Amino acid sequence: MRNRLIAIAVIMLPLCICAQDMRLLSMEEAVLGTGLRIADIKPFWSDDGKCLTYRYEGNVNTINLATGVSTSTPESQEEATGSGNTEGYESWAYTKGDNIYTKDNYGNEIAITSYQDSNIVCGQAVSRNEFGIEEGMFMAPDGNKLAFYRKDESRVSSFPLLDITTRTGSLRQVKYPMNGMDSETISLGVYDRISRETVWMDVTDFTEERYLTNISWSPDSRTIYIQVLDRKQKNMHLNAYDAATGKFLCTLFTEHDDRYVEPLHKLVFIDSDPDRFIYSTNVRDGYRNLYLGNVSGGEPQRLTVCNGDVEYLCQRGNYIYYYSTAVSPVEQHLFRVNLKNRKQTRLTKEPGWHKCSVSPDGKWFTDNWSSLDVPRKVAYGSTDGKIFRTFFEPADPADALNYGSIEMGTIKSADGLYDNWYRLIKPHNFDPTQKYPVILYVYGGPHIQLVTNSYQAQLRRWEMYMAQHGYIVFVMDGRGTPGHGAEYEKAIHRQCGKAEMSDQMEGIRWLMQNEWVDRERIGVHGWSYGGFMTISLMVNYPDIFKVGVAGGPVIDWKWYEVMYGERYMETEATNPEGFAATSLISRAKNLKGKLLICQGAIDETVVWEHSLSFIEACIRNGVQVDYFPYPTHPHNVSGKDRVHLMTKVTDYFEDYLK
């Protein structure tokens, strides 16, 4: 098949511009992006906020913000000055194995925890990194106390993973809390480095399989705030605890949603008023917005008033800086809001996806952005809106390649209430009188947005590689995607795959109205949730999709883990209809097209039980299906083996869809 792919590339060369600087992507470039990188400029501020510094092509470039004058010095002669990001505290605690250690003033190691039971894990992230949990230890602002998670997995079932690298093969047992089954229990301890004692926060809300999320210290290091979430993920209590004793102090406020509550961000205390803090939620007003809370309790007051999801960036004096999708769900812009009068101001003006930083004195900001046809621009501006200057604008790296056109647009969702954004990639020298096969690339699940108004609409290079080989490639975000508000995102609740499939089919029907689409040659590819969507589309619309490649697919939500799975699907006991409607086991018999499933054999995210069970269902129903495991890879195939994976995916479409 590899030789055949090369032959096809050679045959198609006459379709391409024949100039020496124009060429097709190689598979390695399609997968790894080799030779296609745009210069990564990361400007940072001087300590006084008066200068901006960045490195580029061996030089240190410094811009005087007041005058706009730029100076350049070879990096070997002078190091860039500036504090960069130095927030936080030097860590004095560390983990070895499943316990936490520190050292005294003489360098002697001291065990903060010393559990011998392998089911007890301390100092590491819990809840499978859901709810914004990325760490397991939390230093107090004064540096004298350390809060840490203690996870007890005694009741959690194990799943065996096969290690083929040993002489006779061996099984590695991993703890995997499956939907509806026993889960881990979490405690939060606080270690005092002076007394060398640990106290435990007295959390009694809900059942013991509650979630302790977004651990936040008060600025004076006396109080710990925990967003306590029930296992059903429908109720959240923001609780305060005495860090010295562990005593419960009060519940500041609560949140409830019949679908789910998903706390994702810690509290951010106001520098000038430590009794007030910033809180983020999408439960109260239809979008994820910022709210102003008080340690004395009471309902938080909305701070950002906009119809768009908001992400906190920083605070400078009386202003809170944040990103918002209020301009468009596919654009991210920088705003600020005045804490005194609540006035909101948009700071970035150009269409696109913006990443920014704000100077320590709050007078300036950097703007690093791209849009569909703009590879990158880097600029700085004054926060009063009077000055804005672009100082870096690289050439388009795709100019040297035979890229086809990339289009962005919207298609109405299946319920007619929303605009779903798509990107459409056509082959170079596209001929509307010809008919082309189509590949739908899909994800469809929460927290992933595939289409943004950024450079090439967030194109994956493999998509262009396939377009260069004669395919129409179509990617669309539907309901369930972030950035569009709570109703859009939570439309999938209890029926994962249903709204998403309906929206994807609206996109396919729109495509099929075009004469240049070959309706008999439509394929689909996706990984993880996208693998679930790939097979779902293949078995629910077998007359439409002729070829599919599914990677690491969820097959039945009863085999997925508690934290993610119960948020979106609840359990079989509470939602039997939803589990029956979304399971792919009973629909294996509907498969008509060619389907390849790829699976990492040591996958701890979507365990092997999913895809193997689907294979077994196909066998029982006399349905042919292709299967390719990656024996030493987890959920994602990475490194050089990813080239192997994408070559296999490509070959499958070349053999059966082309």
Q: Tell me, rounded to whole angstroms, the distance of Cα 457 from its chain centroid.
A: 16
Cβ contact 567:257 at 8 Å: no
In three-state form (DSSP H/G/I as H, E/B as E, the rest C), the secondary structure along 399-441 is: HHECCCCEEEEEEECCCCCCEEEEEEECCCCCCCCCCEEEEEE
Number of Cβ within a 10 Å radius of residue 348: 23
* Phi, psi for residue 283 in degrees, rounded to 5: -85, -30
Work out the widest C-alpha separation in the chain, in whole angstroms: 80
635 is catalytic: yes
Characterize the bridge pairing of strands 158-163 and 170-175.
antiparallel
Cβ contact 114:137 at 8 Å: no
Cβ contact 497:587 at 8 Å: no
Cβ contact 484:418 at 8 Å: yes
For the range 589-592, what are the long-range contacts, defined as Cβ-Cβ under 8 Å and sequence gap of 24 or more?
A: 589/617, 589/621, 589/623, 590/539, 590/540, 590/542, 591/538, 591/539, 591/542, 591/618, 591/623, 591/625, 592/542, 592/543
**DSSP letters along 570-607, please?**
--TTT-HHHHHHH-SSTTGGG--SEEEEEEETT-SSS-
Instruction: Spell 375-387 as b/e; 16+ CB within 10 A means b.
Output: bbbbbbbbbeeee
Cα–Cα distance list, 149 to 134, 146, 189, 443 (Å): 12, 10, 6, 32
Catalytic residue (one of 528, 536, 583, 611):
528
271 is catalytic: no
Burial of 214 (0-12, 13-18, 19+ CB in 10 A): buried
Cβ contact 461:30 at 8 Å: yes
Cα–Cα distance list, 142 to 50, 217, 219, 221, 579 (Å): 29, 10, 8, 6, 49
Catalytic residue (one of 493, 603, 610, 633):
603
- Look at the block and give the residue holding tokens 């239809």: 286
* Lateral strand order in the sheet of 388-392: 353-358, 364-371, 374-382, 388-392
R_g over Cα of the chain: 27
Q: Tell me, rounded to whole angstroms, the distance of Cα 106 from its chain centroid.
A: 43
528 is catalytic: yes
Looking at 159-269, list the stretches that DSSP marks H as alpha helix, in order from N- to C-terminal side.
none
45 DSSP β-pair partners: 52
Q: Measured between alpha carbons, how far is 256 from 262 in angstroms, rounded to an integer?
A: 10
Q: Measured between alpha carbons, how far is 40 from 366 in angstroms, rounded to an integer?
A: 14
For residue 164, which of 640, 632, 635, 644 has the smallest C-alpha distance? 632
Q: Measured between alpha carbons, how far is 640 from 632 in angstroms, rounded to an integer?
A: 13
Catalytic residue (one of 152, 447, 635, 655):
635
Exposure on the CB side of residue 618, measured as CA atoms within 13 A: 21
- Which residues neighbour 213 within 8 Å (Cβ) at sequence distance 6 or greater? 127, 131, 132, 133, 226, 227, 228, 229, 263
Characterize the bridge pairing of strands 223-229 and 235-242.
antiparallel
DSSP state of 545: -
> Catalytic residue numbers?
528, 603, 635
